[in-house]
Chain A
């Protein structure tokens, strides 16, 4: 498995609350090769961000339990010491978060915030890190970089802040960029610019990218493969085109139908009836069963693994799969 950059096996995350441990995410399995772009899609509460943050163990340690394996080039991230983890973060795997209003430190200037990872991971001195920070601002197309580098986050617009976040993330030329809802808090026009920037950077730097979004349309334009999550589990994994041609899971089908189509003239957009169950009230069998239009008698109490569906696809549903073989 050395050609795999990232190999996530049976990842499960639970959080401690006043009412005990609550499972947020389970049964997450996926791999990522060099240069791959994987999209993780799901609605709020599906566990996509929880999954993303677990890859770098960014949850608060004292009330989070992460099980399974996150193999980064063969080494289990979940077993790394704190020092090894800090070496990995920001240098080999970098992250861009949603809501750039809050993800940049308001009291530190841009030069410091970009330069910090260069000083940590590449041993650069202050002056060299600063010069490189200006170059990086140029790369993410912030005009007048030499001057803006002295600015503080509140002096930048939302789009510019996200560009700065991206500059921070790519500073050490990571092999993997995890972008967690990178455009959710931004205007639609700015959103398109940021996605274009990410696409270009991915090509220029040869990074692998994991893009997390609730927006299936956005993901489909960016990723090669998509993992759809529902109620804390992946429920379908497929190449983007195949997923759009024929979604195998009724939930994916519902998501795709809910994307507005400019050519058709509808008064109301189709929706999926019901809402995502809370982590403590997840059905025992198929978690989508209560909302599923194709529900069968045994759906509610049969726990399904991801089933092999051919063509590099897998699905947690028997509707379109006749040969019921679990994915190895």
Chain B
């Protein structure tokens, strides 16, 4: 098991390197010069040149890339150009917000998505199936920024039940924390619920046609147990894969929602950094998200061994 984790993390290194280089190249392709932005409007050219030299942006691209990678190897993500703090610190500061949002959305997604998928599969081709799957289709089709605005109008403006924006840290009270996250998390979860429900349904349909499900029925196992134990345990491997993917998306994909609900998370940091051409922050954040993807995949791999006795890594 430890060997598995170590090999997977080692395999992550080349992946991260590619992410690092791609991010670097993309940032260089973007129009806009950080030195100009940093110097401020109407600054004279000498000042901009001086800043550019100071930031090392006048050096050849390969040298810039090389020195950045060398810093990375020492776990140094560099300093933000605008925030006046190290990139690592900027990420760590905003991480709890993004993780909180992702967790709450994930906790909403998993049970609802799975149960919807199972219900639809069990009553396949009936009106129940049609109703549940239509709902799931709505979930994956409705743009979440639009839904977010509607939700704010209803729950914050009209009913006044929930705050329309802002984040409350968990140490100021569990309820206040949760209240600040319910709406953005629900909006975020809706798409994922639809996606998970569709995946679970198709996986369950496949599994319920298997011979061992018939064996369970022939033993006198009740319908509920047949579906929940014999069938679902076998569908779980795929559901787990999808769940890991969903969590990755939630951690990295909250950009729009964080923006609408004014949550100071990683997604918002990334967008602001791109706008400001704050290259070290963009690169650092992208790398961090890449690392999260790899880490979540390792976790999913470990869960496979728990769920399916046929999977072994030794």
Q: Show the binding face of A for B, using Cβ within 8 Å.
A: 56, 58, 62, 82, 86-91, 94-95, 97, 99, 102-109, 116-117, 120-121, 152, 154, 165, 168
Q: Show the binding face of B for A, using Cβ within 8 Å.
A: 124-126, 210-212, 214-223, 229-230, 233-234, 236, 307-310
Chain B: CB-nearest residue to A151: B309
Report how far A56 CA is from B220 CA in the complex, Å: 10
| Contact assessment for A117 and B211 in the assembled complex, using a CB-CB cutoff below 8 Å | no
The smallest C-beta distance from B226 to any residue of chain A, in angstroms, reads 10
Report how far A34 CA is from B218 CA in the complex, Å: 21
| Contact assessment for A102 and B211 in the assembled complex, using a CB-CB cutoff below 8 Å | yes
| Contact assessment for A89 and B217 in the assembled complex, using a CB-CB cutoff below 8 Å | yes
Secondary structure at the B interface, as helix, strand, loop or mixed, is helix
Interface residue from A87, A94, A116, A154 paired with B309 (Cβ < 8 Å): A154
> Which residues of B lie under 8 Å from residue A58 when comparing CB positions?
214, 217-218
Chain B: CB-nearest residue to A91: B220
| Contact assessment for B211 and A152 in the assembled complex, using a CB-CB cutoff below 8 Å | no
> Which residues of B lie under 8 Å from residue A95 when comparing CB positions?
218
Report how far A90 CA is from B218 CA in the complex, Å: 6
Chain B: CB-nearest residue to A114: B219
Name the residue among A102, A103, A117, A120 with the largest chain B CB count within 10 angstroms: A103
| Contact assessment for A90 and B219 in the assembled complex, using a CB-CB cutoff below 8 Å | yes
- A selection of 10 A-B contacts at a CB cut-off of 8 Å is A86-B221, A86-B222, A87-B220, A89-B218, A103-B212, A106-B234, A107-B308, A109-B309, A116-B216, A117-B219
| Contact assessment for A121 and B309 in the assembled complex, using a CB-CB cutoff below 8 Å | no
- List of 10 A-B pairs having minimum Cβ-Cβ separation, nearest first: A90-B220, A90-B219, A89-B220, A102-B211, A105-B212, A152-B309, A117-B219, A95-B218, A103-B211, A86-B220
Chain A: CB-nearest residue to B307: A107
> Which residues of B lie under 8 Å from residue A152 when comparing CB positions?
309-310
Interface residue from B211, B219, B230, B234 paired with A99 (Cβ < 8 Å): B211
| Contact assessment for A120 and B219 in the assembled complex, using a CB-CB cutoff below 8 Å | yes
| Contact assessment for B216 and A105 in the assembled complex, using a CB-CB cutoff below 8 Å | yes
| Contact assessment for B220 and A88 in the assembled complex, using a CB-CB cutoff below 8 Å | yes
The smallest C-beta distance from A152 to any residue of chain B, in angstroms, reads 4
Interface residue from A103, A104, A107, A116 paired with B233 (Cβ < 8 Å): A107
The smallest C-beta distance from A151 to any residue of chain B, in angstroms, reads 9
Report how far A242 CA is from B263 CA in the complex, Å: 86
The smallest C-beta distance from A186 to any residue of chain B, in angstroms, reads 15
| Contact assessment for B220 and A106 in the assembled complex, using a CB-CB cutoff below 8 Å | no
> Which residues of B lie under 8 Å from residue A94 when comparing CB positions?
218-219
A-B contacts, CB under 8 A, total: 78
> Which residues of A lie under 8 Å from residue B236 when comparing CB positions?
107
| Contact assessment for B223 and A168 in the assembled complex, using a CB-CB cutoff below 8 Å | no
The smallest C-beta distance from B113 to any residue of chain A, in angstroms, reads 21
Chain A: CB-nearest residue to B126: A62
Chain A: CB-nearest residue to B212: A105
| Contact assessment for A97 and B211 in the assembled complex, using a CB-CB cutoff below 8 Å | yes
The smallest C-beta distance from B130 to any residue of chain A, in angstroms, reads 14
| Contact assessment for B221 and A116 in the assembled complex, using a CB-CB cutoff below 8 Å | yes
> Which residues of B lie under 8 Å from residue A109 when comparing CB positions?
309
> Which residues of B lie under 8 Å from residue A165 when comparing CB positions?
215
> Which residues of B lie under 8 Å from residue A89 when comparing CB positions?
217-220
| Contact assessment for B219 and A168 in the assembled complex, using a CB-CB cutoff below 8 Å | yes
| Contact assessment for A104 and B215 in the assembled complex, using a CB-CB cutoff below 8 Å | yes
Report how far A105 CA is from B213 CA in the complex, Å: 8
> Which residues of B lie under 8 Å from residue A87 when comparing CB positions?
220
Chain A: CB-nearest residue to B310: A154
> Which residues of B lie under 8 Å from residue A116 when comparing CB positions?
216, 219, 221
The smallest C-beta distance from A51 to any residue of chain B, in angstroms, reads 15
Report how far A58 CA is from B233 CA in the complex, Å: 21
Report how far A76 CA is from B223 CA in the complex, Å: 21
| Contact assessment for B220 and A120 in the assembled complex, using a CB-CB cutoff below 8 Å | yes
> Which residues of B lie under 8 Å from residue A56 when comparing CB positions?
218
| Contact assessment for A102 and B310 in the assembled complex, using a CB-CB cutoff below 8 Å | no
Report how far A86 CA is from B219 CA in the complex, Å: 8
Report how far A121 CA is from B221 CA in the complex, Å: 9
| Contact assessment for A97 and B221 in the assembled complex, using a CB-CB cutoff below 8 Å | no
Report how far A117 CA is from B308 CA in the complex, Å: 22
Interface residue from A62, A106, A120 paired with B212 (Cβ < 8 Å): A106
Chain A: CB-nearest residue to B234: A107
Given A86-B221, A89-B217, A90-B219: A105 and B309 interface contact (C-beta under 8 Å): no
| Contact assessment for B212 and A102 in the assembled complex, using a CB-CB cutoff below 8 Å | yes
| Contact assessment for B124 and A62 in the assembled complex, using a CB-CB cutoff below 8 Å | yes
> Which residues of A lie under 8 Å from residue B214 when comparing CB positions?
58, 97, 103
Given A102-B210, A103-B212: A108 and B219 interface contact (C-beta under 8 Å): no
> Which residues of A lie under 8 Å from residue B308 when comparing CB positions?
106-107
Report how far A71 CA is from B52 CA in the complex, Å: 92
Report how far A173 CA is from B231 CA in the complex, Å: 26
Chain A: CB-nearest residue to B125: A62
> Which residues of A lie under 8 Å from residue B218 when comparing CB positions?
56, 58, 89-90, 94-95, 97
Report how far A56 CA is from B214 CA in the complex, Å: 11
> Which residues of B lie under 8 Å from residue A90 when comparing CB positions?
218-221
> Which residues of B lie under 8 Å from residue A97 when comparing CB positions?
211, 214-215, 218
Report how far A104 CA is from B216 CA in the complex, Å: 9
| Contact assessment for B230 and A108 in the assembled complex, using a CB-CB cutoff below 8 Å | yes
| Contact assessment for B220 and A121 in the assembled complex, using a CB-CB cutoff below 8 Å | yes
> Which residues of B lie under 8 Å from residue A104 when comparing CB positions?
212, 215
The smallest C-beta distance from A154 to any residue of chain B, in angstroms, reads 5
> Which residues of A lie under 8 Å from residue B220 when comparing CB positions?
86-91, 117, 120-121
